A and B are shown apart, each in its own frame.
Chain A
Amino acid sequence: MTLNGTDMLPSETKIKFASRFLRSLSKIKKPRSASSLKETQKCSERIKVAAYSSMAHAVGSRRAWSRAVLVKLGSRARQRQVLMRRKRSKVGKKCKRVGMKKKKIKNCVLGQENKLRELVPGGKSMDILSLLEETTHYLTCLSAQVKVMQTIADYYSKG
């Protein structure tokens, strides 16, 4: 196990994530103060995607879950490019949301495993052993991500 007893992510990864995230934050168009709720929701969605993508980029291709995220992002970006050419239709918006759906499965032991597979990116095509290992790493990265985002949000809310 790579994270043998160490809960902390290496600082290098954290810094990479922070820098990428801040960069992508700056690129996202912020809604004006008088914007509708929908726009804010869209914006928050983009910020969320930016956070996950910057984390995946910071981790790199070392982990199965980060590879899965990058692939998903890449395909999504390509989809978006295609849609940009076409007329903006309802189909485009649906494509964005397909990935967000989550089925509800009963809470049996098999169901738990399936739930975990759905939570961890790329978990559907893993056996239970590697799924657990990926979950471990994913958890550390996720907690680090949350901390960084928290501090950024705190800073900007206070400043």
Chain B
Amino acid sequence: METRKKVMEIEKARKGQDPFAFRCGLLDLLILPPLKVEVHCLSPSPLRTLASATRRDRGSTGNCSDMTVLERQRPRTKMQQDQQHLQLHDHHRQEEENYFCGTGFNAVFSPLQLQLENSQGLIMAAAGTDSALGEVVAQAPSLKTDPALVNGWPELSKFEIPAMAYVNSAISRTCSCPPSASVKAVAEGKGKELISSEKMSSASGSRENLNKRKAEKIQNPKVVAENNNHKDKKIKMCAEEGESKITEQTSTKNPTTTANNNNRETSADTSKENSKTSEVQKPDYIHVRARRGQATDSHSLAERVRREKISERMKYLQDLVPGCNKITGKAGMLDEIINYVQSLQRQVEFLSMKLAAVNPRLDFNIDDLFAKEVFPACGPSYPTIDMGINTPDMGLRRTISAPVSLPETFLDSSCFTQILPPSTAWENDLQNLYNVEFDQARSTSYPSQQFTGPIEASILKMEM
């Protein structure tokens, strides 16, 4: 693997005390295909160097555990890189959960850990960054006010763990590689994440954008499947994760309203989005993944979500409205829908006029029958005042109860004879009706002209 070659190169550079080559090598690593690496070895290294500075600010237990881990690890910086690597590696396994649970880094690093396999060379290199950073750190605590921070990282200054700040400053000083060129590979380590994120942020120009990029996200299974195609976006999200995690920490201390919300949202979103194994689940938020070649602005993301919802509903409407298959486009579809609704409403009006004009010879004398509100399978026979009305009503009542009780009960001829009025014609009709109903229980609609019988036949048809 060329990545490994590069790693060895970097190692040589480091050993050869060539800081510039070493750092550029690190940056080059970003371009190369992702190397699965233990990430966590990096994480404590920048953090621990600044542990003392930020000790006071920390309150959460997670941070305290950070502290203890860092303090424990501090003396190792002076030891050889191998030992360092081994110890860090060991500690990661054991203490990772404790380390990160409070801070929320868990979500960031657990997936990375799971995804990454060990690479000794790279870890050496990573550990090497530690020494490089150590140089930088040793210089001054005034790095916090570094102009690189002020530019696009106003919140970084508030960081309890200004690791990023230091990394940023270190990189900005030491390497003049163009930011955009190197942002391609998946994050290989937190240091590199930070590097890449720093570059992207400086390229983008503002911290706010990065936070808002992931303000709204949707987990698109298709997009998730296309992970490989979206490395460039993913790295941004990985990187921003780191930032947002850090900002989440600060936000717990210094509640700035919108920044807080943004950070929490972004961290929540990224945590859920970036790793399926993430333990931090925040189902309140809609998760969207920015697709390749599309804007990652929060506004455009939200708009895209909205548009997708609208198009989904238009598809349902397209199925409903007949003859809309060929029409594409919102305007045409809306036209068709409006026309269809208007036509249906006109049909209702027409039918109501028809019903009003119907010869009222057949009195709609259903009152007394419906007043009983009982649908017994066997009941007293009803006086047949109006043959034309009563029987359809009784039939209707039977149909109403049919879904409730098993339809087979109505096949019982004894019930029929009890309920039906003493009219052979109606008896035959209704028996035919029920025969038909049960013979073709699941058939779709018949043309209504087939049945000259009562209404309930048609109603039953419609039900089926």
Contacts and interface: CB of A to CB of B under 8 A. Distances in A.
B436 interface: no
B138 interface: no
Interface in A1-37: 1, 3-5, 7, 11-12, 14-15, 18-19, 22-23, 25-28, 30-33
Contacts of A79: none
B459 A14 contact: yes
Contacts of A3: 316
A146 B452 contact: no
A119 B344 CA distance: 11
A150 B366 CA distance: 19
A11 B313 contact: no
A3 B313 CA distance: 11
Contacts of B254: none
B344 A143 contact: yes
Interface string B351-372: 1111111111011111100100
A132 B314 contact: yes
Nearest to B371: A23
Given A14-B462, A109-B334, A155-B455, A1 B344 contact: no
Nearest to B315: A1
Contact of B362 (A107, A119, A156): A156
B341 A153 contact: no
Contact of A48 (B313, B349, B400): B349
Nearest to A158: B452
B396 interface: yes
A16 to B, nearest CB: 8
Bin the interface of chain B by size.
35 or more
A158 B358 CA distance: 10
A128 B309 CA distance: 10
B347 A146 contact: yes
A128 B310 CA distance: 8
Interface in B188-243: none
A109 B310 contact: no
Nearest to B344: A142
Interface in B303-355: 306, 309-310, 312-314, 316-317, 319-321, 330-331, 334-335, 337-338, 340-342, 344-345, 347-349, 351-355
A144 B344 CA distance: 10
B191 to A, nearest CB: 44
A145 interface: yes
Contacts of B463: 11, 14-15
Contacts of B396: 18-19, 22
Q: A30, A31, A140: which has the most chain B beta carbons within 10 Å?
A: A30
B344 A25 contact: no
A59 interface: no
B313 A132 contact: yes
A94 to B, nearest CB: 20
Interface of B: 306, 309-310, 312-314, 316-317, 319-321, 330-331, 334-335, 337-338, 340-342, 344-345, 347-349, 351-360, 362-367, 370, 388, 392-393, 396, 399-400, 403, 448, 452, 454-455, 458-459, 462-463
10 contacts: A11-B463, A18-B455, A28-B364, A47-B353, A48-B349, A119-B338, A139-B337, A142-B345, A153-B354, A153-B358
